[in-house]
Structure 1
């Protein structure tokens, strides 16, 4: 079987067979059925495990169980984690390309048919953080001065206790940060922050521009927000108060409706 080669996280040759899946309201996150006409590509190499390789700069991969039921083939255990980790949203769609040996390459496209760009993990380190402006797709490293870590944390704790409150809507995958708070405390770009609940458990959540072009001036919580919402049983209509306790850490107070 012909293989696809890769360069910089992208597909160069597209010779492997493909199928696609559209994410719709009520999408089953427990398993994914392989289209019947696609099964013939797998029969000679079928096994009980498959690897899903996300074709972007993160080069992430997931292992899923493969199950056969009444002649149908499904991705089972592990598929839910793929859905959760990638915060798949309504009307996004996935293109699956079969390489060989139960290896699948996957590209994710948004509802406008634009390929979703996932940036490398950019959790804050003392040596620098990565950001991206709305006008550029090039990641820029911002060097930070070496400072005494403990003094810096104490200063943050004293000065950065800022809050905003949001009534959670029906969008399970994103939460917009209010304009005033966004402009003051969240620089435009693509990076990761930490959300803490009242039990001090932590979740990493991506921050991305809340706009489609260079005119965007606010941000939203994206990948990881769905996991935080699910794990904390946050429903539509609940009120969340976000308290900025460090430059990239927020304590979330949850008030059920």
Structure 2
């Protein structure tokens, strides 16, 4: 992959790049080097299965070929257990701190750290609720009509009962919902029916690489990278209206912050984006909520004790107006669009033009065992049909 290019999500939080691993030095986009803004980066590596991390000081240099990670990179590579042919996703966390995700020759996410025994790696990953399982589709051949899902990924992370439904939900970079039919080969699984339409909608070609994250219940989210390894923003416009708090910022884990604090300080978050995003009111930093108004539309909310105990979820007026709420109605909640299970939740007017979830919300929380800290993403398929993805804390 090329080391630099003219596409860079400069306004995105925690910019990341997709690169082919090399041992002695690693070529990085000039944009990433500029984002780091120093002659040295701190590259974070897990040190085993205990949740601890180690930080490697790595040179950020430039030569006639562009920017690169140099001195200190070979030591990081040896400690992390990365091998030739793997792909890396580097993410800048701010203040020169880089975190790394590695995808092995099968293009599945691997747990870094040479001390992690291969036979327990899948068990460690499956027990880590904060880690969403992911795989890479990088420069595949003949994937415009259907795309192969790595066999290793299917075997380890996709339950057979979900495969029997023969369909999946794929959410593009702006949250648009695409229903994709699954095709079962003799030993392979493909995204098939509807896949070419998904690619066309997002202008994806064989020159792009895709990072797919499994959210559970046969729901996948997708990030798109250009030939230079830099992320590509969607051509489709979206409107964000945060309510009551600032946007949720995915910060480094506590263990990373603790390990790095004696080297370079890590900020807890970045400045709030300007423009169409407006913070309406200050609130507890733990309760995080994002509203995106479509089409398509979705809401993401971190559940608080108060929310769960009262079984009420206030919805902002701007969001309710965008999806057409004007009076009391009933919404069908589904955690899997291919399942017959559903929950009926009443929506009631609340303080003028906003609304709140009433009868039925309590049952939904109880039967889905929602707890404080869990994050629920409500994808509005239709004004009265919502697909709910629950991310456990």
Under a length normalisation based on structure 1, what TM-score does the superposition of the two structures give?
Answer: 0.37
- Quick check: which has more Rg, 1 or 2? 2
